């Protein structure tokens, strides 16, 4: 009986390439691709695109570019998705000139960039601090009748807020709302942080209220930023009110937020309120950390409330936390100022 030879056609090779890509073995996928090219000249555009994506995900963007060049030499035009993946890969590695060149190349092949392509590039340009180029691209999109993804505007607001250009950021924010577009949580959070860092915590709080009105989820970080800003501006009661609102909305405050309140109450001489907040924190199941205990011990020691300071020092050690030299130094200074010349006997 004559032996039958098994002939692998290009589709078998393509299935192997796909399986290796999905299995995370890009090197094997590349090896099979090279063999397929030697045998059949080329594979399908979709398979090239899949290998391209796998290379970009691995960070091998230069290999992905070379693969794209090989496709073009063979007379194949990469798909829009393949171009988008390459543009995204270049932006993530801050190779913005390469990303822009890819968009130009897309146009030359009649593969016109879509909203997703432009969003990727604009995000990259903004992160690369090239707001002028990003703004120019937005105007070009508008002139072509393309719909602008609200997330693009969110990115602009985020960058402007970080740079302290709050008037421009708020103007764009208000313009979105006037156009019937609701800014995303990222835009709100960026404005809140920008106002707080610019010593305008009240504006930040007003935006926090607006976020609630619009049912936008507020992260613990945004709450914490606002609490810190209110404390820094001297409005400790406003900060405490925000923490209470957090609990009512189902977003539990963390130890950092509680410690900020405790520290500020101590600085204001409101020791009873500081202890009350500590108690509330414990009732929420949040254990004080070293920084929280340090704030209590240092604040009480400076106020010559040495017995209370000592009780928290003991509690801290009993809870397995280790006071540092700064804590002991403040504690000893408090005892000396209170007239106790032998503080070591109380440690």
CA-closest candidate to residue 227, choices 267, 263, 187, 178: 263
Judge contact between 189 and 162, C-beta under 8 A: no
Distance of CA 61 to the CA centre of its chain: 24
Distant-in-sequence, close-in-space partners of 52: CB < 8 Å, separation ≥ 6: 64, 67, 68, 78, 82, 85, 86
**Token pair belonging to 52:** 């391209």
Give pLDDT < 70 ranges for the chain. Answer: 1-8, 142, 144, 146, 337-347
Judge contact between 17 and 43, C-beta under 8 A: yes
Residues present in the chain in total: 347
Judge contact between 29 and 20, C-beta under 8 A: yes
Helix (H) or strand (E) holding 189: helix 185-197
**Token pair belonging to 223:** 């709450």
Helix (H) or strand (E) holding 213: helix 201-213
pLDDT score for 181:
78
What's the CA gap between 253 and 141, in Å, rounded?
42
Q: What is the DSSP string of 81-113?
A: HHHHHHHHHHHHTT-HHHHHHHHHHHHHTT---
pLDDT score for 347:
52
**Residue 114: DSSP 8-state:** -
CA-closest candidate to residue 11, choices 40, 50, 52, 38: 40
Please work out, in degrees rounded to the nearest 5, the angle formed at the alpha carbon of residue 275 by the alpha carbons of 274 and 279: 120
What's the CA gap between 15 and 48, in Å, rounded?
12
**Token pair belonging to 262:** 């405790």
What's the CA gap between 282 and 137, in Å, rounded?
52
pLDDT score for 1:
40
Q: What is the DSSP string of 51-78?
A: HHHHHHHHT-HHHHHHHHHHHHHTT---
pLDDT score for 24:
85
Question: What pLDDT, in 10s, does the model give residues 121-144?
Answer: 877 877 777 777 777 777 777 676
Tokens 């313009």 locate to 175
Distance of CA 132 to the CA centre of its chain: 23
**Token pair belonging to 184:** 């995303």
Q: pTM for the whole thing?
A: 0.62
pLDDT score for 346:
52
Q: What is the DSSP string of 141-162?
A: HHHTTPPPPHHHHHHHHHHHHH
In the chain, at which residue ranges do the beta strands (DSSP E only) sit?
A: none
Helix (H) or strand (E) holding 308: helix 306-318
Q: Sign of the C-alpha dihedral, residues 185, 188, 192, 194?
A: positive
pLDDT score for 338:
61
């Amino acid at each position: 009986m004559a032996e039958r030879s098994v002939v692998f056609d290009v589709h078998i090779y393509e299935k192997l390439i796909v399986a290796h890509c999905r299995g995370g073995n890009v090197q094997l996928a590349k090896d099979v691709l090279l063999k397929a090219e030697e045998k059949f000249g080329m594979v399908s555009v979709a398979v090239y695109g899949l290998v391209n994506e796998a290379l970009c995900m691995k960070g091998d963007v230069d290999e992905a570019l070379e693969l794209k060049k090989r496709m073009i030499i063979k007379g194949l035009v990469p798909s829009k998705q393949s171009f988008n993946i390459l543009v995204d890969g270049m932006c993530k590695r801050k190779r913005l000139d390469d990303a822009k060149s890819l968009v130009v190349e897309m146009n030359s092949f009649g593969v016109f960039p879509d909203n997703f392509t432009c969003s990727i590039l604009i995000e990259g340009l903004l992160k690369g601090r090239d707001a002028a180029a990003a703004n120019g691209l937005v105007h070009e999109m508008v002139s072509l009748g393309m719909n602008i993804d609200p997330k693009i505007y969110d990115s602009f607001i985020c960058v402007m807020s970080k740079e302290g250009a709050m008037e421009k950021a708020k103007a764009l924010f208000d313009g979105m709302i006037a156009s019937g577009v609701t800014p995303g949580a990222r835009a709100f959070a960026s404005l809140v942080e920008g106002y707080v860092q610019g010593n305008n915590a009240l504006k930040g709080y007003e935006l926090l209220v607006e976020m609630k009105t619009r049912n936008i989820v507020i992260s613990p970080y945004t709450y914490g930023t606002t609490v810190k800003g209110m404390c820094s501006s001297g409005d400790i009661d406003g900060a405490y009110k925000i923490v209470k609102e957090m609990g009512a909305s189902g977003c539990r405050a963390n130890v950092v937020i509680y410690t900020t309140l405790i520290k500020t109450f101590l600085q204001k001489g409101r020791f009873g309120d500081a202890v009350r907040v500590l108690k509330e924190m414990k009732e929420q199941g949040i254990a004080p950390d070293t920084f929280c205990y340090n704030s209590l011990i240092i604040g009480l020691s400076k106020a010559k409330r040495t017995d209370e300071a000592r009780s928290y020092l003991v509690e801290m050690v009993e809870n397995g936390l280790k006071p540092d030299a700064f804590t002991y130094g403040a504690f000893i200074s408090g005892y000396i100022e209170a007239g106790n010349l032998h503080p070591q006997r109380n440690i």
